[in-house]
Amino acid sequence: MVKMFRSLEKINTRPEPFQFYTADSLWTDEHTSEQMLSYHLNGEVDLSSRNSAFIDRSVSWISAHFKVGPETRIADFGCGPGLYTTRLAQRQAHVTGIDFSKRSIRYAQEVAAREGLSIRYVNGNYLDFETDDRFQLILMIMCDFCALSPEQRKRMLKKFHMLLEPGGSVLLDVYSLKAFDQREETAMYETDLLDGFWSPNPYYGFLNTFKYEDEKVVLDKYTIIEAARTRTVYNWLQYFSPKTLMKEFEESGFVVEKLYSDVTGASFDSEYSEIGIVARKRVR
């Protein structure tokens, strides 16, 4: 009984913000990566990716706003199965996609080959991405920036700054404080939590959602108990005000050009759940 109590106590323990990093558990596991790809490819819902109609509007706006054409060099960090990279390459841009999921990269490569598109795909953690190429535009879409710790975000922005040509731009989106206010702390338990998302084998799943008011961070902590193993996946999300978002970019050598409500170029609305930002590499 004592052992069971200690196990339950550990499951329900609140860690420090961004204390643990388990991105590989979500994106590189054979089973969960397959589930994530199926979500990516479901164009009717906003789960791993935005829905297809949103992506079409987003790419149209990106292409017009950044004058995407045959000479435009674009890097998409967290490209998934190539939903943006494929569309941008169809507009003749030179595109590089980086993603943690081998399964998603393989799917994206198959699409590019089938459509005769020349797209460079790199499988790996984009925090470690290195190249001699320089880009005019860097994308990080679906609020990936929010999943990074303050130290990782600083490292990411430094990398973006290095990889951009002088005057090059970053476009990314984040969750707003309005979205943070809508989150609530929860603790729940289900057999086969999320309908078998975590394993092909029977399992017991615990979800603990913790809010960190001072840091404006939310953690969804998943504890998955199978017959042969127990694992914990930490899904962190940082929420931003316009001020805190702009501050991080400005401290990393960027000039913030404009804020939007999302990456379709919708006018900024403080009541919206997301913030899109366009920032330009400062020319010294």
Please tell me the predicted confidence (pLDDT) of residue 159.
98
Taking 80 as the threshold, does the pLDDT of residue 45 lie above it?
no
- Tell whether the model's pLDDT for residue 221 goes beyond 80: yes
By residue range, what is the domain housing residue 196? 2-15+180-237
Q: What pLDDT sits at residue 25? A: 76
Q: Please, which pLDDT band fits residue 240 given cuts at 50, 70 and 90?
A: very high
Predicted structure pTM score: 0.95
On whether both 247 and 219 belong to a single domain, the answer is no
- pLDDT-derived band at 4 (thresholds 50, 70, 90) equals confident
Does residue 71 form part of some domain? yes
SS3 letters across the chain? CHHHHHHHHHHCCCCCCCCCCCHHHHHCCHHHHHHHHHHHCCCCCCCCCCCHHHHHHHHHHHHHHCCCCCCCEEEEECCCCCHHHHHHHHCCCEEEEEECCHHHHHHHHHHHHHHCCCEEEEECCHHHCCCCCCEEEEEECCCHHHHCCHHHHHHHHHHHHHHEEEEEEEEEEEEEHHHHHHCCCEEEEEECCCCCCCCCCCCEEEEEEEEECCCCEEEEEEEEECCCCEEEEEEEEEEECHHHHHHHHHHCCEEEEEEECCCCCCECCCCCCEEEEEEEECCC
**187 and 261 part of one domain:** no
Give the tens place of pLDDT for each residue, 84-123: 999 999 999 999 999 999 999 999 999 999 999 999 999 9
Q: Residue 49 has what pLDDT?
A: 82
Q: What is the mean pLDDT of the chain?
A: 95
Q: Are residues 147 and 186 in the same domain?
A: no
Residue 193 lies in a domain: yes
Instruction: Indicate the number of domains in the chain.
Output: 2
**Is residue 25 assigned to a domain?**
no
- pLDDT at residue 225, as a whole number: 97
